Amino acid sequence: DQQVKQNSPSLSVQEGRISILNCDYTNSMFDYFLWYKKYPAEGPTFLISISSIKDKNEDGRFTVFLNKSAKHLSLHIVPSQPGDSAVYFCAPHNTDKLIFGTGTRLQVFP
Amino acid sequence: KAGVTQTPRYLIKTRGQQVTLSCSPISGHRSVSWYQQTPGQGLQFLFEYFSETQRNKGNFPGRFSGRQFSNSRSEMNVSTLELGDSALYLCASSSGTIGTGELFFGEGSRLTVL
């Protein structure tokens, strides 16, 4: 039962351009959505979140958009930097647990 | 402030054996969650403990179990290991309710089952 899907396993973007990572979900009861970033050999780290009552949240170069009617959220990184190369997980919240997507591997090249 | 500590970092077991993994949360955090990461499956939720009580459980067989001690340290155990149990096991701590705040993850314990 895949409640959270990140359909793009990988994404390659040139430095300075925009990176857009997508996430689709099926459960309309999710009330909070988080994004995590994971480097190899490290645990995931929290990046940005958005409440279900909002449709946009911005933090520096990172912006998350939420479209509740489409059950879709996206993470925009502008401008992309080589240090952003990592695996990104979306993680909606439901009844005191986070449900992680399968992740998207972002590679930012010079 | 020390982060989440997981031990051991790497281990190799054979089918049928059992394994115990340990997690020390950030000081003051009372919630500990466990996740399994495998290629193509993302992070799958195993269970969460809060104040020594299992508060949430994922869809894993009974071979996977855990506990939390009074100092909030947690252990997870996998019995009768199968090849498919090979994965990175991640522990995460938080102060309380997961959804309103982020989880702080350890570096994980990489289990290989031969």
d(CA A106, nearest CA chain B) in Å: 15
Q: What is the pLDDT of residue A71?
A: 95
Q: What is the pLDDT of residue B98?
A: 53
How far apart CA A97 and CA B33 sit, in angstroms, is 9
| pLDDT tens digits, one per residue of B4-28 | 999 999 999 999 999 999 999 999 9
Q: Do A32 and B99 touch (CB under 8 A)?
A: yes
Question: pLDDT band at residue A109, thresholds of 50, 70 and 90?
Answer: very high
Question: pLDDT band at residue B2, thresholds of 50, 70 and 90?
Answer: confident
CB-closest option in B45, B104, B108 to A97: B45
Residue B32 has pLDDT above 80, yes or no: yes
Residue A16 identity (one-letter amino acid): G
How far apart CA A54 and CA A17 sit, in angstroms, is 26
For chain B, what is the mean pLDDT? 91
Phi first, then psi: what are they for B26, rounded to 5°? Answer: -65, 140
| pLDDT tens digits, one per residue of B82-102 | 999 999 999 999 886 555 557
Strand partners, A93: A32, A98
Contact B23, B32 (CB under 8 A): yes
| Mutation target among A25, A45, A51, A97 for the B interface, most CBs of B within 10 A | A97
Residue A64 identity (one-letter amino acid): V
Contact B19, B13 (CB under 8 A): yes
Q: What is the pLDDT of residue A41?
A: 82
Q: Do B97 and A44 touch (CB under 8 A)?
A: no
Residue A99 has pLDDT above 90, yes or no: no
Q: What is the pLDDT of residue B1?
A: 59
Q: Which region holds residue B41: left if phi is over 0, alpha if psi is between -120 and 50, else beta?
A: alpha
How far apart CA A83 and CA A76 sit, in angstroms, is 15
Chain A, chain B: beta-carbon pairs less than 8 Å apart: 63
Q: What is the pLDDT of residue B97?
A: 59
CB atoms under 10 Å from CB of B75, counted, come to 17
For the segment A66-84, the average pLDDT, to the nearest whole number, is 97
